[in-house]
Structure 1
Amino acid sequence: MSVEPQHQHTWPQPPPGGYTADDLDRLPDLPPHTELIDGSLVFKSPQTKFHMRVMRLLENGLLRSAPHDLEVVREMTVQLGLRRRPEPDVMAVRAEADTGMEQTTYRPEDVVLAVEVVSQDSEARDRETKPGKYAKAGIPHFWRVESDEGAPVVYVYELDPATAAYVPTGIHRNRLKLSVPFTIDIDLTRTGRPRG
């Protein structure tokens, strides 16, 4: 019995020094939601239902709450430097930063809030790597969302400008009620789970 050889995908080979932020827009056939972290391409695994539902809940809550001078976007990148272009799950950005329908990225000074929903394959990036890079770039607010047996827990951080590092300001389990970066009140129990 003969076995047909399986087609093997050829991944792009990085140039010396790694990829640059502009390469994300030029490289053909990249998987959706590819990020650039320190010159390396990072491919995301398929998202879980928890991830999808929490992103939808937070995006809708932020859309209801955001002032008119801010826009809520999801799954777009922020260019943190020549070789860094991560993709937060949700962001609140300055509306004036809109460059049109072909826009793929934002500058860090245009980002007011970056949100990461932690997945099993992204734990180290979402807990350690990305927050440090967002803080150094001056993004004033950061939320990290974790699953506690399927229920979202939102860890809220604010930038300390003296240290260019995030300081924790709260842990929210059932309700996310904040006054910064704007007035927010989101019922975290409404993740769209089927009611029984």
Structure 2
Amino acid sequence: MLKASDVLLVVEIVSPGSTRTDNVDKRGEYADAGIPHYWIVDITEPVSLVACHLAGEFGYQDGGAVTGEFATDDPFAVRVNLDALL
């Protein structure tokens, strides 16, 4: 069994019927569970990724949706060509 305290990152792929669940409900649940990073990938064109990170009592904070290429060093170094996901 995997405990929330063992999870560093959750990546969610938004489907047409789960937009609110992924962006509101799960975002709150994962923040409450203390999962440090939550990435939301929306595969409707243009493909976008919202990278959320825990910001203390404020829950998750993010810098907005990224299209094209997503790159980060936190929680690990990665570069993703979002357009290649289709």
Q: C-alpha displacement at 1:164, in angstroms?
A: 5.2
Distance 1:126 1:166 in 2: 13
Structure showing greater Rg: 1
Structure ranking higher on relative contact order (CA contacts 8 Å, 6+ apart): 2
Aligned to 1:154: 49
Which residue does 1:175 correspond to in 2? 69
2:60 to 157, 160, 166: 166
TM-score of the aligned structures, taking structure 2 as reference length: 0.88
Structure 1 segment 11-30 matched on structure 2, within 5 A: none
Does structure 2 conserve the Cα–Cα contact (< 8 Å) formed by 1:175 and 1:186?
yes
SS in structure 1 of the partner of residue 76 of structure 2: coil
- Structure 1 residue 147 displacement after superposition: 3.0
- Residue in 1 that maps onto 2:32: 136
Give SS of 1:106's match.
coil
Counterpart-to-counterpart distance in 2, 1:169 and 1:180: 13
2:78 pairs with 1:184: yes
Q: CA–CA distance in 1 between the matches of 2:63 and 2:82?
A: 17
Partners of 1:169 and 1:179 lie apart in 2 by 15
Larger relative strand fraction: 2
Which residue of the partner structure matches residue 11 of structure 1? none
Deviation >2 Å, runs of 4+: none
Give the secondary structure class of the aligned counterpart of 1:121. coil
Correspondences of 1:76-95 after superposition (within 5 Å): none
**More helix per residue: 1 or 2?**
2
Q: Does 1:122 align with 2:23?
A: no
Deviation of the 1:171 alpha carbon: 2.4
Tell me how far apart the structure 1 counterparts of residues 21 and 2 of structure 2 sit (CA, whole Å). Answer: 19
Unpaired runs of at least 5, structure 1: 1-104
1:31-50 correspondence to structure 2 within 5 Å: none
- Paired residues in the alignment total 86
